[in-house]
Amino acid sequence: MRKLFSFLFASLDGYHETHDHDIHWQDVDDEFDAFDLAQLDEAGAILLGRVTYEGFAEFWSTPAAHEADPIRAKRLNALPKVVVSRTLREAQWENTTIIGADADVELRKLKEQPGKDIQLIGSAKLTGYLIQAGLLDELRVMVSPVLLGGGNPAFPVSGQVSMELLRSRQFSNGNMLLVYRPHASGTAAEPAV
């Protein structure tokens, strides 16, 4: 069975973004860029929540994206995309599958398909859901050297989830990559995405 891992940024105080969705505190430099592209190479499919999906689809399918970041644009457009949403009916972006109901069943099926691993990108709510559903194999967090003092939580779970720290990497700009294997906590509501 292939692995499902989630990658997202978080502040040291556990927020994914400010209340007004500001993510400018995330420092992405050349070292991050090389890491991020290598990580994308691990993926045979990418999984996204609806909000992240719509942002990605809007940008990465454009000629501007191909010009600004041709390597990443080519890969993101070519990779199969899976978006979890109960409201999205039709996907404009190429190679997209929508999971509208029975997310846990459909995602289990997706993991059982042959191929490279599945990468969930930047979707905090979906990450929280997958942790509690026992479907997330790795939680990869880039902890930024910042306190936000408030915002939308990076790991919205209800109740305590213990994890195993698999590895860590300190980046020269102060970002800290922490990679965990979450232990299933047993309870998970369907994701509200």
Residues of the shown chain interacting with a copy of itself in the complex, contacts defined by CB under 8 A: 10-15, 18, 25, 131, 141, 143, 145-150, 153-165, 167-168, 170, 174-176, 178, 180, 182
Which helix (H) or strand (E) segment is 34 a member of? helix 30-41
Give me the amino acid identity at 73.
A
C-beta of 175: minimal distance to a copy of itself in Å? 8
Residue closer to a copy of itself (CB basis): 83 or 154: 154
C-beta of 68: minimal distance to a copy of itself in Å? 26
CA 69 to CA 158: how far, in whole Å? Answer: 38
> Alpha-carbon Rg of the chain, whole angstroms?
16
C-beta of 11: minimal distance to a copy of itself in Å? 8
Phi and psi, residue 81, nearest 5°: -110, 140
Residue closer to a copy of itself (CB basis): 53 or 155: 155
C-beta of 157: minimal distance to a copy of itself in Å? 4
Residue closer to a copy of itself (CB basis): 91 or 146: 146
How many Cα atoms sit within 13 Å of 100 on the Cβ side? 6
Across the strands, what pairs with 82?
47, 97
Residue closer to a copy of itself (CB basis): 85 or 144: 144
Give the other-Cβ count within 10 Å of 96's Cβ: 17
